[in-house]
């Protein structure tokens, strides 16, 4: 039996430069649309609810030419780990879940 790989795909309507997008994407084949907001830009991606976010994060880093691990991803005040899935956060219930990408900061003491 052939193993089926999870599908993480950008919509054909999504901008290549991750700029702001006015046209909403549509859900198809059980996929959900997630929006990643960073700085003053947003990008929309379609993904399966059972796909790990590590694939989406890798696609985000490639599109922004940022080094992996540079950003931390937050959803409703909770950090999203790369091994998490949209189902872990009930994202399928929302129309357009928005994930914030913030620059990671290493803490320390004085």
Q: What is the pLDDT of residues 59-101, one digit of tens each?
A: 999 988 999 999 999 999 999 999 999 999 988 776 789 999 9
89 is a domain residue: yes
12 is a domain residue: no
State residue 17's pLDDT score.
Answer: 42
- Give backbone dihedrals phi and psi of 60, rounded to 5 degrees, phi first: -65, -50
At 106, the pLDDT band (50, 70, 90 cuts) reads confident
Q: What's the whole-number average pLDDT of the chain?
A: 78
CATH (domain of 37) = 3.10.20.90
- Paired residues of 45 in beta bridges: 10, 34
37: exposed, middle or buried (Cβ count in 10 Å: 0-12, 13-18, 19+): middle
pLDDT tens figures, 19-55:
444 445 454 578 888 999 998 899 888 899 999 999 9
Cα gap 80→73, rounded to integer Å: 5
- Give backbone dihedrals phi and psi of 81, rounded to 5 degrees, phi first: -85, 150
pTM above 0.85, yes or no: no
65 is a domain residue: yes
Domain that holds residue 40: 28-103
State residue 14's pLDDT score.
Answer: 41
Q: What percent of the chain has pLDDT over 70?
A: 72
């Amino acid at each position: 039996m052939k193993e089926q790989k999870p599908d993480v795909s950008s919509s054909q309507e999504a901008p290549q430069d991750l700029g702001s997008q006015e046209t909403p994407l549509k859900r198809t084949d059980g996929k959900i649309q997630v929006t990643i907001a960073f700085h003053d830009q947003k990008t929309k991606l379609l993904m399966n609810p059972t796909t790990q976010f590590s694939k989406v994060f890798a696609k985000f880093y490639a599109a922004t030419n940022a080094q992996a691990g540079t950003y931390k991803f937050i959803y409703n005040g909770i950090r999203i780990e790369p091994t998490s899935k949209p189902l872990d956060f009930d994202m399928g219930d929302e129309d357009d879940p928005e994930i914030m990408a913030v620059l990671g900061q290493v803490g320390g003491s004085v």
